[in-house]
């Protein structure tokens, strides 16, 4: 197993047919996740295209995850957690932490995305809205959203299988100013493995 | 009043402090809406940044509409309709109509966005997730979404006031294969006026 260190991002190339298992090692960690067509950074997994296709704001095991050209890029093949993953909230960024009162630089998922892509030499892209694995954002009938704690338990995993050659990026969310990564507000590492 | 013809898009420049009134003339028409910083096409109204800020998937009168840098670009000052506007569904595109069974080219909001921007000489941008005025997408507690008909009545309007110099783009959604623009599946024109 490889590690996404606490507060950091990692990018991994998958060939079509390969899969990535992402493990919520401690059970409390949100992982912002993106996927890009390996041959075209302008095509990427898109939450706004996905929701209409699956008829839900919460993807579940068996769902194909679509790109902005409405093609499957990943399939969520396995999910041992209660299936509460967020699709409606943007990746955190320097602006988010400034609005929460942080005066200095704060690690954030947006910068982690671009740093992780740079590490593997992938071209700079826009910042798609991420699939926030294990981020628990209930939506009420009146549209109101709640910032909950993850419902996952230590060792829960998802398995995402590539439907095209792609790059998957994970950011172990560095949010420590609200309890989105558990009540202790302590971002931790997660693990992953690429599976043929 | 100016017209956004049925199935077409229009882009309008607003100076900070100006407002645009968008009128759902027939009450049944969805209007996909975008806003871009006039000085920087890389900054635009962002649904995924908005939802966390307002704590809801449904913006209401009084809400500031944020950009992807979490700055207000518009304020939704007035809304005479029941306030059901969608923020979770992507603009329709050629891929959407192909999946619905359309073999030929079909007018679509994504192409309308880029054509409208080209008409005023604004640089080519990415395709942000739009604010879908009057598009009625209820979300159930389990996350399930429903494709409803607009709840608006003829003459309902919204007033959006610019918080920075910006370009607002409207597309009178050409969807005629499902009843998102009313049970008759007939896209129609809407009207707008810029107000100092």
- Residues in chain A with pLDDT < 70? none
pLDDT recorded at residue A176: 97
CB-CB under 8 Å, B89 with A51: yes
CB-CB under 8 Å, A70 with B95: yes
pLDDT recorded at residue A17: 98
Q: Report the residue of chain B nearest A144, measured CA to CA.
A: B56
Asked if B66 contacts B45 with a C-beta cutoff of 8 angstroms, the reply is yes
Phi/psi region, residue B139 (left: phi>0; alpha: psi -120 to 50; beta: rest), is beta
Structural element, H or E, at residue B118: helix B109-119
Closest residue by Cα to residue B27 from B179, B134, B148, B142: B134
CB-CB under 8 Å, A52 with B89: yes
Give chain A positions within 8 Å (CB) of B140: 141
Nearest to A139 among B95, B127, B143 (CB): B143
Distance CA B110, CA B92 (A): 6
Query: Considering just the CA atoms, what is the radius of gyration of chain B in Å?
Result: 15
Closest residue by Cα to residue B143 from A8, A9, A50: A50
Asked if B185 contacts B29 with a C-beta cutoff of 8 angstroms, the reply is no
Residue-wise burial string across A113-145, b where 16 or more C-beta atoms lie within 10 A, e elsewhere: bbbbbeeeebeebebbbbbbbbbbbebeeebeb
Asked if A48 contacts B88 with a C-beta cutoff of 8 angstroms, the reply is yes
Sign (positive or negative) of CA dihedral B23, B26, B28, B31: negative
CB-CB under 8 Å, A139 with B57: yes
Q: Could you tell me the pTM of the whole model? A: 0.97
Q: Residue A191: what are its φ and ψ, rounded to 5°?
A: -130, 160
**Structure-token pair, residue B132:** 């879908």
The residues with which B56 forms a beta bridge, in sequence order, are: A144
Closest residue by Cα to residue A139 from B58, B20, B187, B16: B58
pLDDT, tens digit, 9 for 90 and up, residues A91-100:
999 999 999 9
- Using beta carbons and an 8 Å cutoff, which residues of A are at the interface with B? 46-49, 51-52, 55-58, 68-71, 88-90, 93, 95-96, 99, 126-127, 129, 138-145
pLDDT recorded at residue A135: 98
pLDDT recorded at residue B150: 97
**Structure-token pair, residue B4:** 């956004």
Q: Residue A172: what are its φ and ψ, rounded to 5°?
A: -75, 105
Q: Map tokens 């979300």 to a residue.
A: B139
Q: Please report, for chain A, how many H helices and E strands are present, in that order.
A: 3, 11
Give chain A positions within 8 Å (CB) of B143: 56-58, 139
**CB contact set of A158 (below 8 Å; sequence gap of 6+):** A21, A22, A76, A78, A79, A80, A81, A85, A133
**Structure-token pair, residue A53:** 């296709």
**Structure-token pair, residue B40:** 């920087």
Nearest to A145 among B51, B126, B129 (CB): B51
Which whole-number Å values give the CA distances from B106 to B83, B124, B185, in the listed order? 29, 21, 14
pLDDT recorded at residue A93: 98
Nearest to A143 among B56, B143, B144 (CB): B56
Asked if B18 contacts B178 with a C-beta cutoff of 8 angstroms, the reply is no
Mapped onto helix, strand or coil, the DSSP state of residue A8 is: coil
Distance CA A22, CA A19 (A): 10
- Residues in chain B with pLDDT < 50? none
Strands A40-44 and A2-4: unpaired
Q: How many CB pairs below 8 A link A and B?
A: 82
Which alpha helices (H) appear in chain A, and where do they start and end? Answer: 47-54, 94-99, 109-119
Nearest CA distance, A149 vs chain B (angstrom) = 15
pLDDT recorded at residue B19: 98
Residue-wise burial string across B2-22, b where 16 or more C-beta atoms lie within 10 A, e elsewhere: eebebbbbbbbebeeebbbbb
């Amino acid at each position: 197993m490889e590690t996404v260190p606490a507060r950091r991002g990692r990018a991994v190339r998958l060939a079509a047919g390969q899969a990535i298992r992402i493990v919520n090692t401690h059970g409390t960690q949100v992982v912002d996740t993106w996927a890009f067509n390996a041959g075209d950074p302008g095509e990427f997994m898109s939450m706004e295209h996905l929701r209409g296709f699956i008829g839900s704001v919460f993807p579940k095991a068996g769902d194909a995850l679509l790109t902005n050209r409405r093609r499957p890029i990943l399939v969520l093949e396995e999910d041992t957690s209660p299936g509460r993953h967020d699709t409606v909230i943007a990746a955190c960024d320097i602006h988010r932490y400034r609005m929460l009162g942080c005066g200095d630089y704060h690690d954030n998922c947006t910068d982690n995305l671009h740093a992780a892509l740079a590490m593997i030499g992938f071209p700079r892209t826009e910042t798609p809205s991420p699939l926030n694995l294990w981020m628990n954002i209930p939506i009420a009938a009146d549209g109101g959203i709640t910032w909950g704690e993850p419902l996952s338990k230590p060792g829960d995993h998802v398995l995402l299988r590539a439907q095209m050659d792609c790059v998957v990026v994970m950011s172990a969310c560095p949010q420590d100013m609200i309890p989105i990564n558990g009540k202790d507000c302590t971002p931790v590492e997660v693990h992953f493995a690429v599976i043929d």
